[in-house]
Amino acid sequence: MEYKAKDYDVIVIGAGHAGCEAALASARLGLKTCVFTINADSIANMPCNPSIGGTSKGHLVKEIDALGGEMGKNIDKTFIQSKMLNKSKGPAVYSLRAQADRKKYHIEMKHTLELQENLDVKQAEIVEYIVENNEVKGVKTHIGAVYGAKAVVLCSGTYLKGKIHIGEVHYESGPDGIFPARYLTDSLNKIGIKTRRFKTGTPARVNRRSIDFSKMEIQNGDEEIVPFSFENSELHIKQQPCYLTYTNENTHKIIRENLHRSPLYAGIIKATGPRYCPSIEDKVVRFADKERHQIFIEPMGENTEEMYVQGMSSSLPEEVQIAMYRTIAGLENVEFTRPAYAIEYDCIDSTDLKLSLESKIIKGMFFAGQVNGSSGYEEAAAQGLIAGINAARFVKGEEPLILDRSDAYIGVLIDDLVTKGTNEPYRMMTSRAEYRLMLRQDNSDARLTPIGYKIGLISEERYHKFLKKYEDINNEIERVKNTNIKPSEKLNEILKDAGTTEVTTGYKLVDLIRRTELNYDMLAPVDTERPVLSKEEREEVNIQLKYEGYIKLQLEQIEEFKKLEQKKIPSDINYEDVKGIRIEARQKLEKYKPESIGQASRISGISPADINVLLIYLNS
């Protein structure tokens, strides 16, 4: 029986990592917000790896925090191991990763939502959009409750018509045995939103007591912990170790002998899976020449004996999974607590969205996370934050927040999805960012905190701390550039120990820092005028000084890029009027409706000649 329940400014469907950020952003911007979840005990759930960050993903989390999002704060409260990846490479690709206490992460985020002013949390399955004249007006639950809304953000994750595959067994379900969203796809299709089918999967969880860790390589966290949130300076916890082991020929033999029982290879799963996170059977087939594959054994929390077997995602039958797991060193007697599975789900074509993540078809309807064809908690949270901000700004009648490719990894992520589209679950990678020297983890706050403050997600106190931090950094950079260091026994001892040329005359401090073998901290003993700075500030000084030439060059490239991004294309343009554009280009432009010349230039099938013709038309 249908009944009128309540009206909100913004409704968020789904309370995974995208939904949490969207709901919190909207509520914090003063909008009366409600977030719906199929199961309140699955809020901010980690149905796959219980970790946050990793290569390029750590960048996204730092950017979320810099804008005023929650993911960085939450993982800082709930991690059990922290590690900075890519330390042997340059600062552009340093990436922070933290193993999470899965349950604690959920509990903390759920409580954050419950305590948030302007935000209601409700358990219900949304089955229908209410749309009038191509504008969203609300939603309806499975028990007939109708909620009005001025904007709706869909963050459905892998729940839309979710279907689990384990060998010959197939059944409707969301991740972790939670009910799927069974009817919402039909409602989307009815109002003109096209959907398609993607696939992902997860490894088995196993009992710690059945593992022989003595046969594995221990993987400890970093001694010095770097927080994800810029609001945290120091974190101290007793970290839990992870472990490394490997598959072998016996593992691969069992997999090859049972490929016919894999729904992926039997043709039962027709959906597209993630290229960069393949199942173990996929890895054995695609990389047949490899004798072994890395397997990481990772704890799922402080108060559980369950361990996550990273690298062993599979859709093979459970008995085959057990047999192949038991061929691995240390897992000979392993006991499963949960088998591996593949999951198929519905998602939309992300090219049907504006850069604000609003639908091009239905006003006030926003999409974020895996429903847009992406994969990963971090990619979801980043989209959720932007969708939540823009849903709130839509209700307020304000211009949307658009981050471009030179602003943030978040900008790269959204632009890739909206402009280029994806035919497989999209994963963020540092190689996707053209301006990654400027889009480092360490300077995420410099790039985005002023924006977060301007839109209302960063407090006055935090903003003033931010300003003071960069005032100190800039003052120190100037001081270093104007400081000469006299030759001394102590200095030459430092240079000798570092394996670089000793000096006999005075030397500019900045030139010493720029030597490959040296850095800002190493020269502290001979730099007597140095002020006391935090580790974070010292790192920033070092990077800006050492890479100044490269940074200057990239800033020049960004300036040229911005010119094309700032050249806007009117939303009501009739491409039939633009003479000289090829038919293919005209069709693509009409389909994608790019918002700027820069965005148009990145659409597949649009040539430089087409862009020149379009520029002439716009300037005429």
| Structural domain boundaries in the chain | 3-201+345-455, 205-342, 479-551, 567-619
Q: Would you state the pLDDT for residue 269?
A: 77
| Cα–Cα distance for residue pair 494/58, rounded to 1 Å | 33
pLDDT band per the 50, 70, 90 thresholds, residue 605: confident
pLDDT band per the 50, 70, 90 thresholds, residue 240: very high
Mean pLDDT of 323-352: 97
Q: Which residues contact 511 (CB under 8 A, 6 or more apart)?
A: none
Name the fold adopted by 3-201+345-455. FAD/NAD(P)-binding domain (3.50.50)
Q: Which residues contact 424 (CB under 8 A, 6 or more apart)?
A: 198, 272, 273, 274, 275, 373
581 versus 112: the higher-pLDDT residue is: 112
Q: Would you state the pLDDT for residue 571?
A: 87
Q: Would you state the pLDDT for residue 480?
A: 96
Q: What mean pLDDT is reported for the chain?
A: 95
pLDDT at residue 620 tops 90: no
Number of Cβ within 10 Å of residue 378's Cβ equals 29
- Name the residue among 312, 300, 390, 303 with its Cα closest to residue 354: 390
592 versus 211: the higher-pLDDT residue is: 211
- Name the residue among 129, 119, 138, 155 with its Cα closest to residue 37: 155
pLDDT band per the 50, 70, 90 thresholds, residue 318: very high
- Enter the CATH code of domain 205-342: 2.40.30.260
What residue type is 170 in one-letter code?
H
Q: Would you state the pLDDT for residue 534?
A: 93
Residue 441 CA: distances (Å) to CA of 72, 154, 496, 543, 552: 12, 28, 32, 12, 18
- Name the residue among 377, 83, 110, 94 with its Cα closest to residue 235: 83
pLDDT one-digit tens code per residue, 241-279: 999 999 999 999 999 999 999 887 777 877 777 777 788
Contact 180, 173 (CB under 8 A): yes
pLDDT band per the 50, 70, 90 thresholds, residue 116: very high
pLDDT at residue 321 tops 90: yes
pLDDT at residue 466 tops 90: yes
- Look up the CATH architecture of domain 479-551: Orthogonal Bundle (1.10)
Instruction: Give the three-class secondary structure for 485.
Output: strand
Q: What is the 3-state secondary structure (H, E, C) of 247-264?
A: CCHHHHHHHHHCHHHCCC
CA dihedral (13, 14, 19, 25) in degrees, to 10, reads 40
pLDDT at residue 13 tops 80: yes
- Rounded to the nearest 5°, which phi and psi values hold at 11? -115, 135
Q: Look up residue 157 and give its two tokens.
A: 């994750």
Q: Would you state the pLDDT for residue 264?
A: 76
Burial 77-110 (b: 16+ CB within 10 A, else e): bbbbbbbbbbeeeebbbbbbbbbbbbbbbbbbbb
- Name the residue among 430, 366, 421, 418 with its Cα closest to residue 54: 430
pLDDT one-digit tens code per residue, 343-391: 999 999 999 999 999 999 999 999 999 999 999 999 999 999 999 999 9
| Cα–Cα distance for residue pair 155/71, rounded to 1 Å | 16
pLDDT band per the 50, 70, 90 thresholds, residue 401: very high
Q: Would you state the pLDDT for residue 84?
A: 94
- Rounded to the nearest 5°, which phi and psi values hold at 163? -140, 125
Q: Would you state the pLDDT for residue 543?
A: 95
| Cα–Cα distance for residue pair 371/357, rounded to 1 Å | 11
pLDDT at residue 511 tops 90: yes
Number of Cβ within 10 Å of residue 504's Cβ equals 8
Residue 42 CA: distances (Å) to CA of 46, 174, 176: 8, 11, 9
Q: Which residue matches tokens 């260091």?
A: 485
| Cα–Cα distance for residue pair 517/527, rounded to 1 Å | 17
Mean pLDDT of 323-342: 97
Mean pLDDT of 589-599: 91
Mean pLDDT of 533-559: 94
Q: Would you state the pLDDT for residue 106?
A: 98
User: What distance, in Å, lies between the first and last C-alpha atoms of the chain?
Assistant: 59
- Look up the CATH architecture of domain 567-619: Orthogonal Bundle (1.10)
Q: Look up residue 62 and give its two tokens.
A: 């730092």
Number of Cβ within 10 Å of residue 115's Cβ equals 8
Portion of the chain with pLDDT greater than 70, in percent: 100
pLDDT band per the 50, 70, 90 thresholds, residue 297: very high
Q: Would you state the pLDDT for residue 233?
A: 86
Q: Look up residue 193 and give its two tokens.
A: 């939103």
pLDDT band per the 50, 70, 90 thresholds, residue 442: very high
- Name the residue among 279, 286, 311, 283 with its Cα closest to residue 298: 311
Residues comprising the chain, all counted: 620
Q: Which residue matches tokens 């991740």?
A: 175
Which burial class, exposed, middle or buried, applies to 421 when counting CB atoms under 10 A from its CB (0-12, 13-18, 19+)? Answer: middle
| Cα–Cα distance for residue pair 152/362, rounded to 1 Å | 10
- Long-range CB contacts for residues 579-584, cutoff 8 Å, separation at least 24: 579/613, 579/617, 580/613, 581/610, 581/613, 581/614, 582/607, 582/610
Q: Would you state the pLDDT for residue 272?
A: 77
| Cα–Cα distance for residue pair 6/122, rounded to 1 Å | 12
